[in-house]
Structure 1
């Protein structure tokens, strides 16, 4: 016979997932607490308790002004990871494995999320000294990190300025050495060189290079990048890595097409 406590716990999980699905079907419109109660059939106290649990997990957010409930950041990231089975991550996985195996360094695939970059996957190389600056699910402002910078540099100038303006506060608070002017400089260098370089700007001994990925319509799809300790990113090896990265980026773009 099942423990009544276990049954209640499973029932709470089922109800919370039902609320998550209910809010997720609103196409960005959001729901009020009253609407959640009516559509779910739960009483107000139970619905509020489950919504708070989902908020703590980052799966649900409540707008401070409208008080509407929307899907949260973690739900978005999970959706990206799931869609990757059939989209960008699926098409890029072979190249990530190849890059990690051939270079010995860590290879990444990232996508844009609004004004930020999210790492979908990290593929480890065999080199024993590793950098852990970027992990799967990690999020940075666009322009912070090699793949993130590659994506920012691929945008039109007016959109670059919109991103820098939107991220000004978080850059000042969390990345004081990466001012908007500094990022503009790195954007110009990326466009000139044809690849993004992060020369230890986030963590001193963690360097990276990145290439933007484009879909069949020419729009930005994401970025592929490599990261290693500084000694493994010096020329001429860095130029060899850039060549390998460009080759695999072209293959990914071809698969996307």
Structure 2
């Protein structure tokens, strides 16, 4: 062993502890506003409760997580929020999408949603409502759905390479159930038309149109969608909404392209 080199087993143990702590931090973050209890975190991480408790204490000391005194559930802490705010301009698609979403909601009067991919699911990052008095509530901020379920999720799925998207759809088939045949038809239509349409598949009468937001290499960073009641989704109005969605998605994509030159197309 070289002078000053640490024993290999020490490095392995330290790396494992860091990896476990970061995994727990990610789980806490994905717990949403309701937070997660110790037992839930232990089950999700496949770690023993004492190990999870010890790691959470360390994360708590660093202000990365905090425990609600009333519910005993864990949430992201103030230091995690601070670090996320520093990263928002480079990595936060919401940071770059908000202006366009507000503009769309104001122009259309309908609900505008931002959806991002998350493993075999999609997550609704933001929901901005227009001033039309009758709204659809099929998708709310923080909702997590299987891939392809909803206009934004379908737009993301359609933007993936066909073999990858088909494999993803096969994996979520048990979660989608009887919706699967219709979803496969909607996916084929989205690929052909360049935008996704959800004609009330999840909630009857609640329609949505979605357009993917691409990274420079073509992979979907997320999707913008407009949700409205069925009688506001006439064919003529759909064309106007799709044009507006493409306009804002392209503007967001241009801002994302400036963040990481290495992802630009050659």
- Fold-level similarity (TM above 0.5): yes
Q: Is 1:213–1:222's contact at 8 Å kept on the other side of the alignment?
A: yes
Q: CA RMSD in A?
A: 3.2
**Residue 201 (structure 2) aligns with:** 201
Q: Is 1:55–1:61's contact at 8 Å kept on the other side of the alignment?
A: no
Q: Distance in 1 between matches of 2:148 and 2:242?
A: 18
| 2:82 aligned with 1:101 | no
Q: Distance in 2 between matches of 1:59 and 1:92?
A: 33
> Which runs of no fewer than 5 residues in structure 1 stay unpaired?
1-21, 32-52
Q: Deviations over 1:136-163 (max 9, x none)?
A: 0011111110000000111122222222
Number of matched residues? 205
Flag the 1:185–1:97 CA change in 2: closer, same or farther, 3 A: same
Flag the 1:238–1:63 CA change in 2: closer, same or farther, 3 A: closer
Q: Is 1:199–1:207's contact at 8 Å kept on the other side of the alignment?
A: yes
**Residue 125 (structure 1) aligns with:** 130
| 2:216 aligned with 1:211 | no
Q: Is 1:115–1:141's contact at 8 Å kept on the other side of the alignment?
A: yes
**Residue 235 (structure 1) aligns with:** 235
Give the alignment partner of residue 164 of structure 1, picking from 166, 169, 175. Answer: 169
Q: Distance in 1 between matches of 2:243 and 2:132?
A: 19
Q: Is 2:190–2:196's contact at 8 Å kept on the other side of the alignment?
A: yes
Flag the 1:206–1:58 CA change in 2: closer, same or farther, 3 A: farther
Please state whether the residue corresponding to 1:209 is helix, strand or coil. Answer: strand
**Residue 245 (structure 1) aligns with:** 245
Flag the 1:60–1:99 CA change in 2: closer, same or farther, 3 A: same
Q: Distance in 2 between matches of 1:168 and 1:61?
A: 27
**Residue 37 (structure 2) aligns with:** 56
What are the equivalent positions in structure 2 for 1:37-186 lying under 5 Å apart?
A: 55-56=36-37, 60-63=41-44, 82=84, 85-86=88-89, 87-172=92-177, 176=178, 178-179=179-180, 181-186=181-186
> Which runs of no fewer than 5 residues in structure 2 stay unpaired?
1-16, 26-33, 57-74, 258-266
Q: Is 1:213–1:220's contact at 8 Å kept on the other side of the alignment?
A: yes
